[in-house]
Amino acid sequence: MKIELDCLPCFLRQALEASRLASADESVQRRILKDAVTIIGDYDSYAYAPEVGRAIHNLVKQHTGLSDPYRELKQRNIELAKQVYPDLKHFLFHHREDWLYWTLKVAATGNVLDAAIYGEVQERELLRTELERKFAICDSVEFAKKLQTAKTLLIIGDNAGETVFDRVLAEQLLNLEIVYAVRSGPIINDTTIDEAYLSELDRHARIISSGCDAPGLVLSECKEDFQEEFYRADLVISKGQGNYETLTEVDREVFFLLKAKCPVITEDIGVTMGDYVFMSNKNHR
Amino acid sequence: MKIELDCLPCFLRQALEASRLASADESVQRRILKDAVTIIGDYDSYAYAPEVGRAIHNLVKQHTGLSDPYRELKQRNIELAKQVYPDLKHFLFHHREDWLYWTLKVAATGNVLDAAIYGEVQERELLRTELERKFAICDSVEFAKKLQTAKTLLIIGDNAGETVFDRVLAEQLLNLEIVYAVRSGPIINDTTIDEAYLSELDRHARIISSGCDAPGLVLSECKEDFQEEFYRADLVISKGQGNYETLTEVDREVFFLLKAKCPVITEDIGVTMGDYVFMSNKNHR
């Protein structure tokens, strides 16, 4: 999907948040914001919002010398997610009649662990409410049908911490050969190889780098072997808003699993803020 | 007060809102945003946030050819305020024991009619709640003391609609010679001479133009006769956030009367979002 004008103030807000997270020095923050403004002014030379996001977060890295400003936050989110992991399994035990729906819902709920939007991790006590909340759009019946003959599943990961919730999904889909794709380098709080291993996703999936380090998978930038995986997989699940933004027009079926957290996304999908979505690009575009 | 980094995303958000209000043509909106980004990148060449605000809103005027994009909104706000005018008088009748406190509170409550922040006018039913809400900071006792000997009061106006609430204030301060200062030209939803007359402020005050058309009074830009009024007045009340931003360091006593609606202002004053404030710059800086 294209970059909307509403994204522009949000880019600047993200630049400010990231600069403050990475440096307490206001002069550094000011320099980052100055350069971020230049990037934002040039927004129409980018195809997707996550590409602008990457450019902005790269500025933060350049100005602060930190290669991974969100490293600690990512680790904290994974620890937090691991603490609630037993609750997730318990939740699924109590929802075993419609196990696939609720397993997908668990993976979608992991998407609340998004520092780029929330600023801080959702409180544990809110988790239950979020878990119980149903999908606003759900193509799980269609997904279930395809699951009967599918042998391989590619999951395109999103944030660190959310990865632990995705592990629950991978555990439930026992019969599939699962590939879990991550960013090729640190970008915001997105998962890289490191965080995927820290989340113990390797127990249930083969972890691969997509070759792209934008906070949304830009297929044309990906490594050839990833692109092969992408087109070869019987099923593809794309997690989060960033991947949605870059993959909506792609030439194969993708199931998007996300929580809608910004007005541009809610408008595009046709849901309301905070809604959970599991939808195929074949049904809704 | 200086321009904080938090203002930058907010400037861009305001540019977007204003461009959409002034034109339905997305290509026009995009051009406005492009130029707004350039202005924002150059923010440190401005002394005050309202100067950047003016530059951005001037862009909207240039790109759309509209000299007063908020004209209808201002008139609507005044009509709405006139409709609740009897309620305000009624409210004051029921709060006559502490009339000065509540009269100031009425004038402060008018500050909710702020399109630059709210996007649309506060619902009438919420007005009562807002009116009853007490000041978080209130120097009314000190103001009352000075009122005993004061002969002249200068009110620096803010938004159209709020002007009708200010009329209630002017009506109660019968013994004073009141001067009501307005922007020299249309800027956002701020009151100019036209809206001040439409609000019938001329019944109780002498309406003058400050000579400045920024959405916050920049004293150095003001006409000489306004500057004389400013220093000669026994009491000065400054309405709203914009005037607060430009007048905090001024070399005479000013009583700021406002509702704190943005994090930069709440941080600066030391109150929480939505709080009402009536404070002298002599007490709190």
pLDDT 10s digits, B60-77: 999 999 999 999 999 999
Tokens of A266: 């809610």
Distance of CA A250 to the CA centre of its chain: 17
- Chain B CB contacts of A29 below 8 Å: 5
Judging contacts by C-beta atoms under 8 Å, the chain A residues touching residue B5 are 16, 19, 26, 29-30, 33
Map A163-230 to HEC letters: HHHHHHHHHHCCCCEEEEEECCCCCCCECCHHHHHHCCHHHCCEEEECCCCCCCCCHHHCCHHHHHHH
Q: How far apart are alpha carbons B73 and B266 in whole angstroms?
A: 27
Fill in the amino acid letter for B52.
Answer: V
Minimum mean pLDDT range among A60-64, A222-226, A276-280, B112-116: B112-116
Q: Give buried/exposed letters for B92-126 (b at 16+ CB in 10 A, else e).
A: beebeeeeebbbbbbbbbbbbbbbbbeeebbeeee
pLDDT value at residue B112: 85
Residues 6+ apart with CB under 8 A from A185: A192, A213
Return the closest-CA partner of residue B134 out of B161, B95, B78: B95
| β-bridge partners, A232 | none
DSSP, res A237: E
Q: Do A5 and B29 touch (CB under 8 A)?
A: yes
**Torsions phi, psi of A207, nearest 5?**
-90, 130
Strand partners, B208: B181
Across the interface, whether the CB atoms of A8 and B33 are under 8 A apart is answered yes
Contacts of A142 (CB under 8 A, 6+ apart): A280, A283
Contacts of residue B66, defined as CB under 8 A and 6 or more positions apart, other chains included, come to B22, B60
Identify the pLDDT of residue A113: 73
Which residues of A fall within a CB distance of 8 Å from B19?
5
Residue with tokens 């930058």: B8
Gyration radius (Cα) of chain B, Å: 18
Taking the CA of residue B27 and the nearest CA in chain A, the distance in Å comes to: 11
**Helix count and strand count (H, E) for chain A:** 14, 7
- Compute the distance between CA of residue B87 and CA of residue A93 in angstroms, rounded to an integer: 58
pTM for this predicted structure: 0.88
Is residue B117's pLDDT more than 50?
Answer: no
> For A137, phi and psi rounded to 5 degrees?
-130, 130
> Residue A230: what pLDDT?
98
- Residue B169 has which token pair? 């204030």
Q: Report d(CA A257, CA A280) in Å as an integer.
A: 9
Confidence tier at B116 by pLDDT (50, 70, 90): very low
Q: Is the pLDDT of residue A115 over 90?
A: no
- Of the candidates A40, A42, A55, the residue with the CA atom closest to the CA atom of residue A7: A40
The predicted model gives B167-194 an average pLDDT of 97
How far is the C-alpha of A32 from the C-alpha of B239, rounded, in Å? 34
**DSSP per residue, chain B:** -PPPTTHHHHHHHHHHHHHHHH-S-HHHHHHHHHHHHHHHHTGGG-SSHHHHHHHHHHHHHHHH--S-TTHHHHHHHHHHHHHHHHHHHHHHHTTGGGHHHHHHHHHHHGGG--HHHHSSPPPHHHHHHHHHSPEEEE-HHHHHHHHTT--EEEEE--BTTHHHHHHHHHHH-TTSEEEEEE-SS--TTB--HHHHHHTTGGGTSEEEE-S--SSS--GGGS-HHHHHHHHH-SEEEEEHHHHHHHHTT-SS--EEEEE--SHHHHHHHT--TT-EEEEEHHHH-
Question: How many Å lie between the alpha carbon of B122 and the closest alpha carbon of chain A?
Answer: 22
Cβ neighbours of B144 (radius 10 Å): 12
Is residue B121 over pLDDT 50? no
The DSSP output letter for A122 is: P
| Nearest chain A CA: its distance from B41 CA (Å) | 6
Residues 6+ apart with CB under 8 A from B9: A9, A10, A12, A13, A16
Side chain identity at A125, as an amino acid letter? E
Residue B58 has pLDDT above 80, yes or no: yes
Averaged pLDDT score across all residues of chain A: 94
Is the pLDDT at B118 greater than 90, yes or no? Answer: no
Q: Which of A5, A6, A16 sits opposite B8 (nearest CB)?
A: A16
- B12/A16 CB distance under 8 A: no
Closest CA to B213 of B157, B135, B270: B157
pLDDT tens profile A46-79: 999 999 999 999 999 999 999 999 999 999 999 9
The predicted model gives B91-111 an average pLDDT of 96
Q: Min CA distance, A6 vs chain B (Å)?
A: 7
Residues of A near B (Cβ–Cβ under 8 Å) read 5-6, 8-10, 12-13, 16, 19, 26, 29-30, 33-34, 37-38, 40-41, 44
In the numeric block, the tokens 């990231």 are attached to: A18
Q: Would you say A143 and A235 are in contact if contact means Cβ atoms under 8 Å apart?
A: yes
Q: Quote helix, strand, coil % in chain A, to nearest 5.
A: 55, 15, 30
pLDDT in tens, A229-256: 999 999 999 999 999 999 999 999 999 9
Give the tens place of pLDDT for each residue, A171-224: 999 899 999 999 999 999 999 999 999 999 999 999 999 999 999 999 999 999
The answer to whether the CB of A1 falls within 8 A of the CB of A39 is no
- The band of B127, judged by pLDDT with boundaries at 50, 70 and 90, is confident
Residues of A in contact with B38 (CB under 8 A): 41
pLDDT of B285 higher than 60: no
Question: What residues of B are in contact with residue A16 (Cβ under 8 Å)?
Answer: 5-6, 8-9
Chain A contact set for B33 (CB, 8 A): 5, 8
Contact A34 B41 (CB under 8 A): yes
Q: Do B5 and A13 touch (CB under 8 A)?
A: no
Instruction: Identify the pLDDT of residue A119.
Output: 38
**A118-165 confidence digits (pLDDT tens):** 434 446 678 889 999 999 999 999 999 999 999 999 999 999 999 999
pLDDT at B119: 38
Could you give the C-alpha distances from A208 to A71, A226, B284, in angstroms and in order? 19, 8, 58
Question: What integer pLDDT is reported at residue B113 of this predicted model?
Answer: 73
Q: Which of A12, A20, A35, A59 to mutate to test the interface with B (most CBs of B within 10 A)?
A: A12
Q: What is the mean pLDDT of residues B264-273?
A: 96
In angstroms, the CA B14 to CA B12 distance is 5
A45 CB neighbours in chain B (<8 A) are none
pLDDT at A283: 77
Tell me what ipTM this predicted complex has. 0.84
pLDDT at B120 over 60: no
pLDDT score recorded for residue B283: 77
Q: How many residues does chain A have?
A: 285
